[in-house]
Amino acid sequence: MSLEEQPDDLRDQAKRNYERVKNEFITEEKQSILSEYQVDDFDSVLLVVTAPRGGSSLLFDILRHHEGTCSLDGEHDRWVTLSGICYPTLESDVVPADFESFDRETLLTNLLAEVGATDRSGDRTHRVDNTLVRLPLQFPDRELPYEQIREQLLEGVSLNEILEELGISPLQYDEYAERDANRPFETETIEDRPFVSSHRHKRGLTADDFERTLVLKASGDAYRLPWIREQLFPETDVKVVHLTRNPAASINGLYDGWRLNRGFQTYNVGDLDLEGYDGSLWCYDLPPGWVREGKLIDVCLMQWAQAHRHILDGRDAFEDVLRVRFEDLLTDTRSTINEIVKFADLGESTLLSENVESPNKVMTTKEPRHARWRDREDLVKSALDRADETYTEVVEELEYTEDSEWI
């Protein structure tokens, strides 16, 4: 997230502090990798795309437990934002395929900063390095004692305890994904707080790891598929998983997220007058045609429809695209994951199989429950009844025409 009234100042501070951390405080091994490699050096990439609240956090968390993969600790949007490839430079989250007003070499290196290789043994040092490189993006306007933080983390002191000692609420970091604050925080960070989650089965990269598959996901990628192909991975073997979820469940999840004080705020677009929302900041993706006035539930519908419309329109930039239903991931997890593993040529993984048996609960706005959207069925269906042609076409293309099947 970024303070859009002063984005350049915050980004400049974040960049300066990140470069300092990268050059002075992370391990020599990570420094060496970042000086010699970029994210497009991976032989293959598996890109998961969907609309926000589409279930990609769960799928990403399962896939990144495969021992043939590498991954970031969360979404990569923060590195795109740090490069200024976002509103207000752009009118929405749509990035044209020919957009070149950014430092490509820097972005490709930055995207590698958090990437680790899945390995059962894991590595505390890798997790410490990743925490350090994120802190400048999390708190760009603070001069933090990075060396002291590193020493404490290596000694086993919890990040929560360290942050509290520095007068920072742990809610401003990972805990924000688990519970609400008493009020919305301002957009003082580059990073989307709830989208950071590591797991203990990760270690730092070696040269051999670039033969693995890099797993990436960020909801904003729905609006930049042709750009990703042309500007980031023009020569890389990229396979795309288009994850779909029925509109009612996704819209309901978006509606919850907008109304929670949990860090889903993304942009300061000026005054908002949305029925059902009393916050001051935009939440989640910024689709083309976004509005400042109207009903919140209609905005949530627009976010679902526009994201999938752009995925459907942009998928032709890639040769290999697999469409997967989130509903199948919930009801037949093993078969769905096996289909994706086969599609991505990943092979077998004991660690993945264990995670499939007992997936982590990630990025939930409320306790998961099938068809929870029916708790506000009248509100959701009123939006569906008002929906425009874009929504109708997407529903038909994704084959979500029978709401009796919407879980």
The pLDDT assigned to 3 comes to 38
The pLDDT assigned to 192 comes to 62
pLDDT digits (tens, 9 = 90+) for 224-281: 999 999 999 999 999 999 999 999 999 999 999 999 877 788 899 999 999 999 988 8
Q: Tell me how far apart the alpha carbons of residues 279 and 269 are, in angstroms, rounded to a whole number.
A: 12
| Amino acid letter, residue 272 | L
pLDDT digits (tens, 9 = 90+) for 5-29: 456 788 899 999 999 999 999 999 9
Q: Which residues of the chain have pLDDT under 50?
A: 1-5, 176
**What's the CA dihedral at 310, 276, 171, 17 to 10 degrees?**
50
β-pair type (116-118, 69-71): antiparallel
Q: Tell me how far apart the alpha carbons of residues 171 and 241 are, in angstroms, rounded to a whole number.
A: 32
Q: Compute φ and ψ for 118, nearest 5 degrees.
A: -70, 125
Q: State yes or no: cis peptide before 88, omega within 30 of 0.
A: yes
Q: Tell me how far apart the alpha carbons of residues 365 and 181 are, in angstroms, rounded to a whole number.
A: 13
Q: Tell me how far apart the alpha carbons of residues 89 and 27 are, in angstroms, rounded to a whole number.
A: 34
pTM: 0.93
The pLDDT assigned to 235 comes to 97
The pLDDT assigned to 1 comes to 41
Q: State yes or no: cis peptide before 170, omega within 30 of 0.
A: no
DSSP summary character for residue 301: H
